[in-house]
Amino acid sequence: MKIQAIRGVKDILPGEIEAVQRLEQAARSIFESFGFSEIRIPIFEVTELFARGIGATTDIVEKEMYTFEDRDGKKITLRPEGTASVVRSYIEHQLYLKAPVAKLYYLGPMFRHERPQAGRFRQFYQIGIEALGTDRPAMDVEVLAMLSAVLNQIGVTEVQLEINSLGDSVCRPEYRKTLKAYFKTYLSQLCENCRRRYETNPMRILDCKNEGCRAVTAKAPSPLDHLCADCLVHFQQVKDGLNQLKIPFVVNEHLVRGLDYYMRTAFEVTTTKLGAQNAIAAGGRYDGLVKELGGPPTPGIGFAMGVERIALLMERMETPKPDIFFALLGEEAVRRMLPVTIQLRGEGVRVEMDYSGGGLKKQMGLSDKLGARYTLIIGENELKAGKAMLRNMADKSQTELSLSELAQTLPERLRKT
Ligand code: ATP
Ligand code: MG
């Protein structure tokens, strides 16, 4: 029987993982310089958290969640995103008492039962942040600056930042009514999904990719024309801040996040290089979410980056190569060199060796194949003479080294080039 990975779930192999690691490192160091700390949230939670935290009428909750009963009959869901868990944790551990603004980041796998295709998986990775405790536009700007810094750092620059404002509890209900009145005339032209959204979540129709729906939404009333004074000022300050920092953006009046507790700023980073799956990061303000999940009313903003999609935009990086390959002939050479290899590794030197007991030619071939910078050759003759031969694999030059001093001389030699 041949067992394979589940459809839509993929391995990230050496050769692919390096870009992911680089993205993770860049994100960690930039987030931390902005004062964000990592939070490790569980991979599964009670289903209700997501049903309420993401919103019962979203695609995720309606169609995409991996939900099952565990052995105690408890309803469990594999996390489809991170925000709900971070907010749950924030409330559970009363993080609001520890600092006026909680700045948290997370990274790890998410699970959604979607139709697998290029750039769309059933297990995929996200790196995300949440800033809880302030509704000031300066935080929106800071969060966007941070996202843009990460993308710049890893060389993903041909992207577009789209922003919008969705209004708040003051102006949104009125806008929603206006929007529904508009769509009412065109109901028959909308896709089935959007006809359902018309009842549950009409703003999401604005975001539909279906051509029929697009024709209708093209002339739909814009949320920006219905913002209350406070929301207008907030949005203006976000735009001013981005301009001041010279972070390019476009306003996309059709960008929505769909939920009642998503408010004001919504944004997405897109690329033209990945075909249909063009969003590489998305986020927004969710000033109503903490309260919805049972915490004190607390504004928040966050985003999540799609790791696989971003990695596809990064230059492919090589798997690191050994600094030195130990070509050891005979058991005695292996025995004598074992402590040296361990010591070098402890000093951060990448050491490889042959594990098959092959002859010199075979071992040199392996060293070459692995791309080692140096090969250290120790056969019976060298052992007897208390010497080792260090071969520079690039220029083929060889140097004789004293066996007893290897542990001292090798690190120095390896550093020289
Ligand atoms: P999409 O419109 O692509 O379905 P989304 O709105 O569902 O995205 P979010 O929940 O906002 O996505 O997640 C943020 C980011 O995570 C997306 O911009 C995308 O890069 C990535 N992402 C979302 N779903 C998947 C998936 N199934 N496979 C790979 N990456 C994904
Ligand atoms: Mg989706």
pLDDT digits (tens, 9 = 90+) for 128-182: 999 999 999 999 999 999 999 999 999 999 999 999 999 999 999 999 999 999 9
pLDDT class of 2 with cuts at 50, 70, 90 = very high
Mean pLDDT of 205-212: 88
Rounded Cα distance between 328 and 27, Å, is: 41
- Report which ligand 1 atom has the smallest distance to the Cα of 59: 7
Q: Hey, which of 277, 280, 307, 313 would you mutate to test ligand 1's pocket, going by the most ligand atoms within 8 Å of its Cβ?
A: 277
Give the per-residue pLDDT at 315.
Answer: 83
Contacts 24+ apart (CB under 8 A), 112-116: 112/60, 112/64, 112/65, 112/66, 112/80, 113/63, 113/64, 113/65, 113/66, 114/8, 114/64, 116/7, 116/8
Ligand 1 first shell, C-beta below 6 A: 81, 112, 114, 119-121, 124, 126, 277, 279-282, 304, 306, 308-309
Give the per-residue pLDDT at 120.
Answer: 94
- Report which ligand 1 atom has the smallest distance to the Cα of 122: 27
Mean pLDDT of 269-275: 90
Mean pLDDT of 211-236: 94
The rounded Å distance from CA 59 to ligand 2 centre is 7
The rounded Å distance from CA 230 to ligand 1 centre is 30
Q: Kindly write down the DSSP assignment for every residue of 360-388, as one continuous string.
A: HHHHHHHHHHHT-SEEEEE-HHHHHHTEE
Rounded Cα distance between 304 and 315, Å, is: 21
Helix (H) or strand (E) holding 141: helix 137-153
Give the per-residue pLDDT at 56.
Answer: 77
Q: Hey, which of 63, 124, 257 would you mutate to test ligand 1's pocket, going by the most ligand atoms within 8 Å of its Cβ?
A: 124
Q: Which ligand is nearest to the CA of 204?
A: 1
Ranges of H-type helices in 218-356? 229-244, 289-292, 307-313, 331-346
Q: What is the CATH number of domain 324-412?
A: 3.40.50.800
Half-sphere exposure of 370 (CA within 13 A, CB side): 23
The rounded Å distance from CA 113 to ligand 1 centre is 12
Rounded Cα distance between 8 and 311, Å, is: 17
Q: Which ligand is nearest to the CA of 114?
A: 1
Give the per-residue pLDDT at 60.
Answer: 86
Q: Is the pLDDT of residue 259 over 60?
A: yes
Q: What is the CATH number of domain 17-171+227-313?
A: 3.30.930.10
Give the per-residue pLDDT at 172.
Answer: 92
Q: Which ligand is nearest to the CA of 110?
A: 1
Please state whether beta strands 160-165 and 250-251 pair in parallel, antiparallel, or not at all (unpaired).
Answer: parallel
Rounded Cα distance between 222 and 251, Å, is: 11
Rounded Cα distance between 123 and 116, Å, is: 10
Give the per-residue pLDDT at 173.
Answer: 92
CB 401 within 8 A of CB 386: no
The rounded Å distance from CA 112 to ligand 2 centre is 8
Q: Is the pLDDT of residue 417 over 60?
A: no
pLDDT class of 258 with cuts at 50, 70, 90 = low
- Convert the pLDDT of each residue in 320-377 to its tens digit: 899 999 999 999 999 999 999 999 999 999 999 998 888 999 999 999 999 999 999 9
Percent of the chain topping pLDDT 70: 99
Ranges of H-type helices in 245-318? 289-292, 307-313
Rounded Cα distance between 233 and 150, Å, is: 28
Give the per-residue pLDDT at 416.
Answer: 64
Q: Which ligand is nearest to the CA of 117?
A: 1
33 CB contacts (<8 Å, ≥6 apart)? none
The rounded Å distance from CA 197 to ligand 1 centre is 20
The rounded Å distance from CA 306 to ligand 1 centre is 6
Rounded Cα distance between 39 and 51, Å, is: 22
CB 167 within 8 A of CB 175: yes
Domain locations along the chain: 17-171+227-313, 324-412
Q: Is the pLDDT of residue 255 over 90?
A: yes
Overall residue count recorded for the chain in this entry: 417
The rounded Å distance from CA 15 to ligand 2 centre is 27
412 phi and psi angles, rounded to 5 deg? -60, -45
